[in-house]
Amino acid sequence: MRLQRALARAGVASRRAAEELITDGKVRIDGKVATLGMKVDPAKQKITVGGRAVKPQEVAHGFIFFPGEAKKAKELRLQLKAVDTGKVYSLILKF
């Protein structure tokens, strides 16, 4: 996969922001400065951003998102349903 996608999946930055980090020279692959569009294997190669290691993460699969509802001005309620088990997870986001 391309480096900017790997950084986005790991939660470092969005793809566009990851492109800026790469062009600024802040990203290294196995100790070498990365270039835009490089192909990487996060499981086999060490990726660092600003000297800090990036752990590879997978995107959550198997969930269905249901639109939320706002009962208060500072609260949003969401529901996620696991596809395989059918279990519903409720989230309350307060801000």
Residue 42 clears pLDDT 80, i.e. is over it: yes
pLDDT at 47: 92
Write the CATH number of the domain with boundaries 3-54: 3.10.290.10
Asked if 57 and 11 touch (Cβ cutoff 8 Å), the reply is yes
Question: Helices in 1-95 by DSSP H: which ranges?
Answer: 3-9, 15-23
Domain spans in the chain, listed from the N-terminal domain onward: 3-54, 63-94
Residues 20, 36: Cα–Cα separation, whole Å? 9
Residues 37, 93: Cα–Cα separation, whole Å? 36
Sequence-distant (≥ 6) Cβ neighbours of residue 8 within 8 angstroms? 14, 15, 18
Report, as an integer, the average pLDDT of 16-40. Answer: 93
Percent of the chain predicted with pLDDT > 70: 81
